[in-house]
Amino acid sequence: TARMLQARAARRGYLTELLHVFHLLPAFLVKMSSDVLDMALKLPHVEYIEEDAYVFAQSIPWNLGRIVPPPPSAGTYSPPNKGDKVEIYLLDTSVQSTHREIEGRVLVTDFENVPEEDGTRFHRQASKCDSHGTHMAGVLSGRDAGVATGAHVHSLRVLNCQGKGTISGTLIGLEFIEASLKAQPSTPPVVLLPFAGAHSRALNAGCRQIVQMGAVVVVAAGNYKDDACRYSPASEPEVITVGATNSENQPASIGTLGTNFGRCVDLFAPGDDIIGASSDCSTCFMAQSGTSQAAAHVAGERGDGGAGIAAMLLSAEPHLSLAELRQRLLHFATKNAIRAAWFPEEQRLQTPNSVAGLPAQLGADEQLLCRSVWSARSGLTRHATAVVRCTGTEEMLGCSSYSHSGRRLGEHIEDKEGRKQCVAHNAFRGRGVYAIARCCTWPRARCRVNASSQADEGAGCAPQDHVLTGCSFHSPAAVLGDGGRPVPGPDGRPARCT
């Protein structure tokens, strides 16, 4: 397809330069005139074209005590393990690997793909070029200030000295990780992307592909005090998206803005005034704030409860899938500590009220873990629908709907392309509706959907040893009333929906 584009463009007098052919996803990077766009869209196999856009670092010691219950005595930090069985890939600026905090703990790879710095007079001072990456590496595995002090960090440079990178550079970096995984298969690695850019279908697809290969991808929600679903890679459902809190477990204000929020955020973690290694000298420390630092806590560095926690959980249970890891992060998190009034009113229900944390002990513990996943709001027309799915390894055990106006026509679960999806229906004069799926992980959990016909009085479980997990009701003719209620059977357990 790329060669066909070059040939057709040349016949019309346009030069095109093929820069890279991706193998992580079916795509290629080409430099060409905007006049060639229509021609390119008409080529066979071309689904969409996306301009190569920028991504930006998301950064501007209470945190270690915050994530480990009970509070450490005498100010000491005692994690359940050091995360030493996990490899962490950090895509960031360059790193000052000789800093005493991370010396011998960070492998600086030879990968580098960054754009030129803005401004002809920009001075590439080493300490500035290494600033963000060095701080992040210290949060992940720093000797004194790290969350997962035993984790092995691999540094890839995708951000320049101004903390700016590109979508294409990030995708090529993910291909570098893909090649490493194929060469040396091991415990699922953690990939930390502490940056954000405008919504990118290509970047989301690349993240989804590396997750399907077994990696756990942890990303920054963004520092724009906005809906995280508008940004990438934060908007990709298959990654773990982390927002930032302050020392009071409240949403972090970052500069004139603050942490992003909304249904695309999985949980929050410390991200305000986080102490970590400074690239100013080999023994210097500094404080930085942002969802970059929050994501590092979940992934493996020292930050605010994100990266490091994932590394420790995977060290204890190396065979966890990303869905199972996400469920454990939510299960161990502190619930309902955040003042929801900080968020816009229309985002308060969708934004998770969970701050990352760890149990006192880790180990295999088979149990049913569930989370609620919201859809985007439907349109306002009478027959508009909202649809939401669970991730591939989760079971949908319930489906419900919500409307700010209260006007909705119910919801139902349907199978589409081999996967269940929860579908919610807007009502006439409604203000839009949300679909809410109850997504669960348990090795033995399998869900069946039994629906009644219009003439039936209800639907029940068959065979009888099945457990009723939820009721849904949809009427295309009337606004939702009393339908969709569970009815107890002879043994007192819910047996039917009416």
Start and end residues for every CATH 2.60.120.690 domain found in the chain: 368-497
SS3 assignment, position 139: helix
* Residues 365, 362: Cα–Cα separation, whole Å: 9
> Nearest 10 degrees: CA dihedral of 246, 250, 253, 259?
100
Name the burial class of residue 198, with classes exposed (0-12), middle (13-18) and buried (19+) by CB atoms within 10 angstroms of its CB.
middle
What superfamily would CATH give domain 368-497? Proprotein convertase subtilisin/kexin type 9 (2.60.120.690)
* Residues 255, 222: Cα–Cα separation, whole Å: 13
Predicted local confidence at residue 80, as pLDDT: 47
- Contact in structure between 434 and 348 (CB atoms under 8 Å): no
- Taking only the tens place, the pLDDT of each residue in 395-435 is 998 899 999 988 888 899 999 888 899 999 999 888 999 99
- Taking only the tens place, the pLDDT of each residue in 118-152 is 764 555 555 567 778 888 887 876 666 665 556 68
Which H/E stretch holds residue 174? helix 167-183
Mean pLDDT value across the chain: 83
- Contact in structure between 269 and 283 (CB atoms under 8 Å): no
Assign 3-class secondary structure to 315-354.
HHCCCCCHHHHHHHHHHHCEECCCCHHHCCHHHCCCCCCE
Predicted local confidence at residue 355, as pLDDT: 94
* Residues 379, 308: Cα–Cα separation, whole Å: 40
Residue 429: CA count within 13 A, CB half-sphere: 2
- Contact in structure between 304 and 267 (CB atoms under 8 Å): no
222 pLDDT above the threshold of 60? yes
- 223-232, 248-257, 355-364: range with lowest mean pLDDT: 355-364
Q: Where are the alpha helices (DSSP H) in 197-347?
A: 201-212, 291-299, 307-316, 322-332
- Contact in structure between 268 and 254 (CB atoms under 8 Å): no
Q: Write the DSSP assignment of 4-17 as a string of letters.
A: HHHHHHHHTT---E
Helices 167-183 and 201-212: crossing angle in degrees, nearest 10, is: 10
315 pLDDT above the threshold of 90? no
Start and end residues for every CATH 3.40.50.200 domain found in the chain: 62-69+79-116+127-355
306 pLDDT above the threshold of 50? no
Top mean pLDDT of 40-44, 77-81, 121-125, 279-283 is at: 40-44
Q: How many CB atoms lie within 10 A of CB 119?
A: 8
- Quote the pTM value: 0.85
Model confidence at 344, pLDDT cuts 50, 70, 90, reads very high
463 pLDDT above the threshold of 70? no
Per-residue b or e along 402-429, where b marks 16 or more CB atoms closer than 10 Å to that residue's CB: bbeeebbbbbbbeeeeeebbbbbbbbee
* Residues 496, 498: Cα–Cα separation, whole Å: 7
Compute the average pLDDT of residues 387-394.
Answer: 91
Which H/E stretch holds residue 19? strand 17-21
Start and end residues for every CATH 3.30.70.80 domain found in the chain: 1-41
Compute the average pLDDT of residues 257-268.
Answer: 97
Greater model confidence, 425 or 278: 425
What residues act catalytically? 92, 132, 292
31 pLDDT above the threshold of 90? yes
Top mean pLDDT of 38-42, 101-105, 171-175 is at: 171-175
Greater model confidence, 314 or 76: 314
Model confidence at 67, pLDDT cuts 50, 70, 90, reads very low
* Residues 79, 413: Cα–Cα separation, whole Å: 41
CATH top-level class of 62-69+79-116+127-355: alpha beta
| CA 28 to the chain's CA centroid | 25
Task: Note the residue count of the chain.
Answer: 498
* Residues 19, 494: Cα–Cα separation, whole Å: 60
CATH (residue range 1-41): 3.30.70.80
Listed as own residue / partner, the contacts of 271-275 with beta carbons closer than 8 Å and 24 or more positions apart are: 271/242, 271/243, 271/244, 271/245, 271/246, 271/297, 271/303, 271/304, 272/244, 272/245, 272/246, 272/247, 272/304, 273/246, 273/247, 274/63, 274/135, 274/139, 274/302, 274/303, 274/304, 275/61, 275/145
Greater model confidence, 300 or 204: 204
* Residues 269, 139: Cα–Cα separation, whole Å: 13
| φ/ψ of residue 110, rounded to 5 | -90, 10
Locate 40 and state its tokens.
């390119």
Top mean pLDDT of 387-396, 436-445, 483-492 is at: 387-396
* Residues 254, 271: Cα–Cα separation, whole Å: 9
* Residues 30, 21: Cα–Cα separation, whole Å: 9
- 40-49, 152-161, 170-179, 292-301: range with lowest mean pLDDT: 292-301
